[in-house]
Structure 1
Amino acid sequence: MVLTMLSDATGVPKPVLRLLLSILAAYPAALFYHIAFLRPMKTIWAPFIRNLYIVVTGLSISYFFNGSDIKHSLITTIVTWLICYFGDIIGNRKLACAASFIFNFSYILIGYYVTSTDEYDVDWTMPQCVLCLRMIGFSMDFMDGAKVLKSSAPEKKTIDNNKIDPPVTQLKTPKQPISFEKNSQLPTLPPLIETIGYAYFFGSFLIGPQFSFHLYRKLITMSLYADVNNIPSGSYKCALKSFFIGALYLGIQQIGVGFFPMSYLLTKEYAASPFFERLVCMWFAGKFAFTKYLGIWTLAEGSCILSGISFNGYDDNGKPEWNGLANVDIMKFEFSTSLNQIVTAFNTNTNLWTKLYIFKRLIFLGNKNLSSLGALLFLALWHGLHPGYYFCFFLEFVDIETEKRWVKRLEPYTKQLYDPMNKSYSITILRRLHNFACWFGQTCGLHYAMVSFELLKWDRVITAYNSVYWIGHIVVFTLLLADNILPRKRVKKIGDINNTKLSLNEKAKVVSDYVNGTKIKEQ
Structure 2
Amino acid sequence: MSGGNGFVQQAAMLVGAPEPAFRLLLTILAGYPISIFYKFILENKVSNAIKHTYFLSLGLCLYLFNYGYDIYHSLIAVIVTYGICAIFQGKPTMLVKVNFIFNMSYLLIGYYLTESNEYDILWTMPHCVLVLRLIGFGFDVADGRPSESDLSKDQKDNCIKEMPNIVQLMAYSYFPSSFIVGPQFPFNRYKHFINNEFTKYKSYMEAGIKRGSVGVLYLIIRQIGAVYLPDDYFLSSEYSNKSFITQIVQLGLWGKISLYKYISCWLLAEGSLTLLGLSHSPKNGQIGSDTKDDWTACSNVKLVLLETGTRMLHYVQSFNVNTNNWVAAYVYKRLKFLNSRTISYAGALLFLAVWHGFHSGYYMAFALEYTIITFEKQIESFYNTVIKPNKIGRVIENNLFVRGVLIAIMKFYNIVMMGWCLTPFIQLSYNKWMVIYSSSGYWGFYLLGIWTLIHLFYQFLLNPKHKNPLLKDKDQ
Establish whether TM, by shorter chain, passes 0.5: yes
Q: Deviations over 1:310-346 (max 9, x none)?
A: 112369x975122221100111101112222222211
Aligned to 2:214: 245
Summarize the Cα distance change of 1:416–1:312 in structure 2 as closer, same or farther, 3 Å threshold. farther
Cα distance in 1 between the residues matched to 2:404 and 2:77:
51
The alpha-carbon deviation at position 440 of structure 1 amounts to 2.3
Contact persistence 1:203–1:303 (CA under 8 A):
yes
Q: Are 1:98 and 2:97 an aligned pair?
A: yes
Aligned to 1:132: 131
Contact persistence 1:409–1:488 (CA under 8 A):
no
Q: Are 1:204 and 2:178 an aligned pair?
A: yes
Aligned to 1:462: 434
Cα distance in 2 between the residues matched to 1:449 and 1:344:
15
Unaligned runs of 5+ in 2: 1-5, 285-289, 463-476
Summarize the Cα distance change of 1:25–1:416 in structure 2 as closer, same or farther, 3 Å threshold. farther
RMSD: 2.7
Q: Deviations over 1:280-337 (max 9, x none)?
A: 221222121112111111111111101110112369x975122221100111101112
Q: Are 1:281 and 2:276 an aligned pair?
A: no
SS at match of 1:65: helix
Unaligned runs of 5+ in 1: 153-175, 491-523
Cα distance in 2 between the residues matched to 1:318 and 1:46:
25
Aligned to 2:38: 33
Aligned to 1:499: none
Cα distance in 1 between the residues matched to 2:292 and 2:395:
33
**Bigger shift: 391-400 or 337-346?**
337-346
The alpha-carbon deviation at position 149 of structure 1 amounts to 6.9
The alpha-carbon deviation at position 488 of structure 1 amounts to 9.0
Summarize the Cα distance change of 1:5–1:416 in structure 2 as closer, same or farther, 3 Å threshold. farther
Aligned to 1:362: 335
Aligned to 1:61: 62
Cα distance in 2 between the residues matched to 1:4 and 1:306:
29
Aligned to 2:415: 443
The alpha-carbon deviation at position 443 of structure 1 amounts to 2.3
The alpha-carbon deviation at position 426 of structure 1 amounts to 5.5
Q: How does 1:61-210 map to 2 (within 5 A)?
A: 61-88=62-89, 91-148=90-147, 182-210=156-184
Summarize the Cα distance change of 1:416–1:300 in structure 2 as closer, same or farther, 3 Å threshold. farther
Summarize the Cα distance change of 1:305–1:124 in structure 2 as closer, same or farther, 3 Å threshold. same
Q: Which amino acid letter does the alignment assign opposite residue 322 of structure 2?
A: N
Contact persistence 2:279–2:298 (CA under 8 A):
yes
Q: Which amino acid letter does the alignment assign opposite residue 134 of structure 2?
A: M
Contact persistence 2:273–2:279 (CA under 8 A):
yes
Q: Determine what percentage of the aligned residue pairs are the same residue.
A: 34
The alpha-carbon deviation at position 481 of structure 1 amounts to 2.5
The alpha-carbon deviation at position 407 of structure 1 amounts to 0.6
Q: Are 1:294 and 2:295 an aligned pair?
A: no
Normalising to structure 1: TM-score of the pair?
Answer: 0.81
Cα distance in 2 between the residues matched to 1:373 and 1:424:
34
Normalising to structure 2: TM-score of the pair?
Answer: 0.89
Q: Are 1:431 and 2:403 an aligned pair?
A: yes
Q: Deviations over 1:384-405 (max 9, x none)?
A: 1110000100000000111111
Question: Which of the numbers 382, 390, 399 marks the counterpart of 1:409?
Answer: 382
Aligned to 1:162: none
Q: Which amino acid letter does the alignment assign opposite residue 103 of structure 1?
A: F
Q: How does 1:12-23 map to 2 (within 5 A)?
A: 12-23=17-28
Contact persistence 1:148–1:185 (CA under 8 A):
no
Cα distance in 2 between the residues matched to 1:341 and 1:457:
26
**Bigger shift: 5-14 or 432-441?**
432-441
SS at match of 1:207: coil
Aligned to 2:474: none
Question: Which of the numbers 309, 320, 324 marks the counterpart of 1:347?
Answer: 320
Cα distance in 1 between the residues matched to 2:179 and 2:231:
28
The alpha-carbon deviation at position 489 of structure 1 amounts to 9.9
Q: Deviations over 1:242-294 (max 9, x none)?
A: 12211111111111111111211111222222222222221222121112111
Cα distance in 2 between the residues matched to 1:244 and 1:478:
44
SS at match of 1:147: coil
SS at match of 2:79: helix
Summarize the Cα distance change of 1:31–1:181 in structure 2 as closer, same or farther, 3 Å threshold. farther
The alpha-carbon deviation at position 447 of structure 1 amounts to 1.4
Structure with more helix by fraction: 2
Contact persistence 1:38–1:308 (CA under 8 A):
no
Q: Which amino acid letter does the alignment assign opposite residue 236 of structure 2?
A: T
Q: How does 1:482-497 map to 2 (within 5 A)?
A: 482-486=454-458
Summarize the Cα distance change of 1:424–1:134 in structure 2 as closer, same or farther, 3 Å threshold. closer
Cα distance in 2 between the residues matched to 1:435 and 1:350:
29
Q: Which amino acid letter does the alignment assign opposite residue 222 of structure 1?
A: N
Summarize the Cα distance change of 1:318–1:75 in structure 2 as closer, same or farther, 3 Å threshold. closer
The alpha-carbon deviation at position 120 of structure 1 amounts to 0.3
Cα distance in 2 between the residues matched to 1:364 and 1:277:
47
Aligned length: 451
Q: Which amino acid letter does the alignment assign opposite residue 338 of structure 1?
A: R
**Structure with larger Rg:** 1
Cα distance in 2 between the residues matched to 1:4 and 1:447:
33
Contact persistence 1:149–1:187 (CA under 8 A):
no
Q: Deviations over 1:346-384 (max 9, x none)?
A: 110000111111111112222222111111111011111
Cα distance in 2 between the residues matched to 1:475 and 1:423:
26
Contact persistence 2:252–2:417 (CA under 8 A):
no
Cα distance in 2 between the residues matched to 1:365 and 1:425:
39
The alpha-carbon deviation at position 425 of structure 1 amounts to 10
Cα distance in 1 between the residues matched to 2:270 and 2:204:
11
